[in-house]
Amino acid sequence: MSEMIQAEQLTFRYTDFSHTAHLALDGVNLTIPYGQFAAILGRNGSGKSTFAKHCNAIALPSGGRVLVDGMDTLQPDLIWDIRRACSMVFQNPDNQIVATVVEEDVAFGLENMGVPPKEIRRRVNEALHMVDMYEYRMHAPHLLSGGQKQRVAIAGVLAMQPKCIVLDEPTAMLDPRGRADVMHVLHRLHKEKGITIVLITHHMDEAVQAERVAVLDHGHLILDGTPRRIFVQTRKLHSLGLTVPQSVQLLEALNGCAQAGLEIDALTVEECADRLEVWLKGGRA
């Protein structure tokens, strides 16, 4: 049984302008099974974007290999099948929208695949409904907000019916409202369509919503596990240049200054409030 994405000893070497060799990825072993919502975290230069580019053969390994849906990305004749199985959404929505009308942009991938016109129309409408952008189908993309543009970009890859969508910091250029909308859409695709989601991000509150978090640093896989197990390792995360969710920060600070003895693995505001309530009531009693 193959996995959605399987990186084995993945190494990526590149030389910069001064001809010095760098290792962006150094022996990364990471397997993402079908249907998982995985977040990949890391500071700038950690290799997380490079990893994303290996998931649909935009970048090819210098060492090791990557299997996408069981297909080796190093085999040139599989490249188009790999990209069909695993699509990618980039950070800047402006630079991935090809057409001047929303629905024509969503149709672009399907036109490239040679899908018959009627079927294109059906899938475009369905994809636009999935991302709540159907009312905007005749709009010009440059008049939409960042979050709306990014949802159009997601619809564009969704219409191609991939098994997996890799998103490289899709919310980095968005306002909080746009971020929330995009995250909502991603969860919907994951739950309703069973699409594997690989979310590259540096927003902790987004990573918290994933089923699994992998942390990269200097091209190495440092941490890998459920958000609950990752985010309690506050000291380790800080040393990697990452923050932890505010709820965890708060509980940890209380433990430090008030010897509260709280479990700090509260990932959401609600969980955190519950813990505090129990503690405060217990304190009074």
Partner 1 sequence: MLRDITLGQFFPGNTWMHRIDPRTKIVLVMAMIVALFVCSHAAAYVVLTVYIFGLIAISKLSLRMVLRGLKPLLVIILFTAVLNLFLTPGDMLLWRAGPVSITMEGIQKAALIVARLVLLIAGTSLLTYTTSPIQLTDGLERLLSPLKKLHLPIHELAMMMSLALRFIPTLVEETDKIMSAQRARGADFDSGNLLHRAKALIPILVPLFVSSFRRADELATAMECRLYRGDIGRTRMRQLQLGRDDAICVIVAILFLGGAIVLQILT
Give the interface with partner 1 as residue ranges (CB under 8 A): 56, 58, 80, 83-84, 87-88, 90, 92, 94-101, 103-104, 107-117, 120-121, 124, 138-140, 142, 156-157, 160
**How far apart (Å, rounded) are the C-alpha atoms in residues 194 and 190?**
5
What does DSSP say about strands 63-68 and 37-41: parallel, antiparallel, or unpaired?
unpaired
Q: Tokens 């998931």 map to which residue?
A: 55
Task: State the minimum distance, in angstroms, from the CB of residue 108 to partner 1.
Answer: 6
Encoding tokens for residue 47?
A: 């290799």
Between 57 and 248, CB nearer to partner 1: 57
Task: State the minimum distance, in angstroms, from the CB of residue 126 to partner 1.
Answer: 13
Encoding tokens for residue 166?
A: 């890799």
Count of residues for the chain? 285
Which residues are CB-contacts of 277 (< 8 A; sequence separation ≥ 6)?
Answer: none
Between 37 and 90, CB nearer to partner 1: 90
Task: State the minimum distance, in angstroms, from the CB of residue 186 to partner 1.
Answer: 17
Between 16 and 282, CB nearer to partner 1: 16
In degrees and rounded to multiples of 5, residue 143 shows phi and psi of: -95, 0
**How far apart (Å, rounded) are the C-alpha atoms in residues 106 and 43?**
32
Q: Show the DSSP H helices in 101-233 as ranges.
A: 102-113, 117-130, 146-158, 176-193, 204-207, 227-230
Q: Tokens 């009074």 map to which residue?
A: 284
Between 121 and 220, CB nearer to partner 1: 121
Between 171 and 247, CB nearer to partner 1: 171
Task: State the minimum distance, in angstroms, from the CB of residue 51 to partner 1.
Answer: 15
**How far apart (Å, rounded) are the C-alpha atoms in residues 7 and 275?**
39
Between 26 and 105, CB nearer to partner 1: 105
Whether the CB-CB separation of 78 and 10 falls below 8 Å is answered with no
Task: State the minimum distance, in angstroms, from the CB of residue 125 to partner 1.
Answer: 11
Task: State the minimum distance, in angstroms, from the CB of residue 182 to partner 1.
Answer: 17
Task: State the minimum distance, in angstroms, from the CB of residue 81 to partner 1.
Answer: 10
Between 48 and 83, CB nearer to partner 1: 83
Encoding tokens for residue 44?
A: 């700038």
